[in-house]
Amino acid sequence: MAQAFDLTVNQFIHTLTNVNTILDKAAAHADHRKFDSNNYVGLRLAPDMLPFAKQIQIACDSAKGIVRLSGQEVPKHEDTEQTLAELKERVKKTIGVLQALKRESFEGWEKKEINLNFPKGKKLPAGEWVPQMVLPNFYFHVSMAYAILRSAGVELGKSDFLGNVKFQDQ
Tell me the pTM.
0.94
pLDDT above 80: residue 151: yes
> Could you tell me which of 105, 101, 106 has the C-alpha nearest to residue 126?
106
Q: How far apart are CA 149 and CA 15, in angstroms?
A: 16
Q: How many helices (H) and strands (E) does the chain have?
A: 7, 2
pLDDT in tens, 93-149: 999 999 999 999 999 998 899 998 878 899 999 999 999 999 999 999 999 999 999
Q: How far apart are CA 87 and CA 99, in angstroms?
A: 18
Amino acid 1: pLDDT: 44
Q: How far apart are CA 28 and CA 36, in angstroms?
A: 10
Domain ranges of the chain: 3-102+118-159
pLDDT above 50: residue 81: yes
Domain 3-102+118-159 classification at class level:
mainly alpha
pLDDT above 60: residue 152: yes
Amino acid 117: pLDDT: 82
The angle at the Cα of 39, spanning 77 to 138, to the nearest 5 degrees, equals: 40
- CB-neighbour burial class of residue 124 (10 A; exposed 0-12, middle 13-18, buried 19+): middle
Say how far residue 50 (Cα) sits from the centre of its chain. 15
Amino acid 2: pLDDT: 54
- CB-neighbour burial class of residue 25 (10 A; exposed 0-12, middle 13-18, buried 19+): middle
